[in-house]
């Protein structure tokens, strides 16, 4: 009862003082590519940086738990939802500006939108990200990559906000980028924007590379079913998808979840899967691969509100 009172009061104050969207008991399946996830006590989508400060101030005042999401492309959320407040850094942070071969973009800008813009401007180096469905903020947070490119190759500086509302700027070196990891991954900071540095190139050639990569992605990945992208990190010296396939698990179904029969690196929501269905299948995959090859697969997807 005490917790509910605190949540109601936080919701009331957020509705009063935040200029953004504030929703109560919002189903998180509406905000994830997996189409899985129970309700968040509160979901707040701030209007801008100042509004984000206001939201964080109120969260601190009430001592509430919070978790930050972007486009939800890499998340598996508990069926029970999230006890606390979800902060969505979304389309309100969708902006970019250009100065020669440098582009500054907001955390809520789609990677595909940035890639198309850069191609039109004849700026090369971001083609690898054209088919990644997430926002820039999440991509920087986890040093997202594809087809031999990673965010660390193009990011020169990142602006973040800590939980006290202070803004920090980090250089590429400060960000400590490594495979699916950055300085932000180990902190509670929120990415606000990033500066990218590209190379001048030929528009037609850049567009051709993007078309080729998107064709590859469409032909090889199960884009027709909800998923959170690659389920497991690439183990040292190999690929998770090959290990899973060699273990005979391609196409394996567990309740509503399935190891994709198109690309075994993906677990897909095949038939109205629950979070527990996906976790159950992940456990089978991890234990089978370990038994056969002695390699422990680690999740690449972020699990929220529950544990593997």
Beta strands 253-254 and 257-259, pairing class: antiparallel
Domain identity same for 155 and 185 = yes
* 3-state SS assignment for residue 129: helix
The range of the structural domain enclosing residue 58 comes to 2-88
220, 254, 281: which is the final residue of a domain?
Answer: 220
C-alpha–C-alpha distance, residues 30 and 32, integer Å: 6
Q: Which residues are catalytic?
A: 180, 230, 300
Residue 248 — very low, low, confident or very high, per pLDDT cuts 50/70/90?
Answer: very high
Q: Which residues pair with 253 in a beta bridge?
A: 258
1 has a pLDDT exceeding 80: no
Residue 183 lies in a domain: yes
Supply the mean pLDDT for the chain: 96
Q: Which helix (H) or strand (E) holds 195?
A: strand 190-197
Asked if residues 169 and 159 have their Cβ atoms less than 8 Å apart, the reply is yes
Asked if residues 300 and 74 have their Cβ atoms less than 8 Å apart, the reply is yes
Domain identity same for 173 and 276 = no
pLDDT single digits (tens) 217-226:
999 999 999 9
State the total domains in the chain: 3
Question: Where residue 20 sits, what CATH number does that domain have?
Answer: 3.30.43.10
88, 103, 125: which is the final residue of a domain?
Answer: 88
Q: What's the pLDDT at 30?
A: 97
Q: What's the pLDDT at 237?
A: 80
Q: What's the pLDDT at 236?
A: 87
pLDDT single digits (tens) 51-76:
999 999 999 999 999 999 999 999 99
């Amino acid at each position: 009862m005490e917790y509910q009172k605190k949540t109601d009061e936080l919701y009331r104050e957020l509705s009063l003082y935040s200029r953004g969207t504030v929703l109560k008991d919002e189903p998180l399946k509406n905000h994830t590519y997996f189409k899985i996830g129970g309700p968040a006590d509160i979901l707040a989508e701030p209007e801008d940086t100042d509004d984000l400060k206001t939201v964080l101030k109120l969260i601190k005042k009430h001592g509430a738990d919070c978790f930050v999401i972007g486009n939800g492309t890499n998340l598996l959320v508990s069926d029970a939802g999230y006890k606390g407040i979800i902060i969505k850094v979304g389309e309100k942070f969708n902006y970019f500006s250009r100065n020669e071969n440098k582009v500054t973009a907001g955390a809520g800008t789609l990677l595909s939108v940035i890639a198309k813009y850069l191609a039109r401007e004849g700026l090369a180096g971001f083609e690898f990200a054209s088919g990644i469905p997430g926002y820039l903020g999440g991509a920087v947070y986890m040093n997202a990559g594809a087809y031999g490119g990673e965010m660390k190759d193009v990011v020169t500086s990142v602006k973040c906000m800590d939980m006290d509302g202070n803004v920090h700027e980090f250089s590429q070196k400060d960000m400590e980028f490594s495979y699916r990891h950055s300085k932000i991954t180990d902190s509670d900071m929120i990415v606000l924007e990033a500066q990218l540095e590209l190379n001048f190139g030929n528009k037609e050639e850049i567009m051709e590379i993007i078309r080729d990569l998107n064709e590859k992605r469409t032909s090889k990945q199960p884009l027709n079913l909800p998923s959170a992208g690659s389920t497991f990190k690439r183990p040292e010296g190999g690929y998770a998808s090959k290990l899973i396939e060699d273990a005979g698990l391609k196409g394996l179904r567990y309740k509503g979840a399935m190891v994709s029969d198109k690309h075994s690196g993906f677990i897909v929501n095949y038939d109205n899967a629950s979070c527990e269905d996906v976790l159950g299948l992940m456990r089978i995959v991890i234990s089978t691969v370990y038994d056969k090859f002695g390699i422990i697969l680690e999740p690449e997807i972020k699990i929220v509100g529950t544990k593997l």
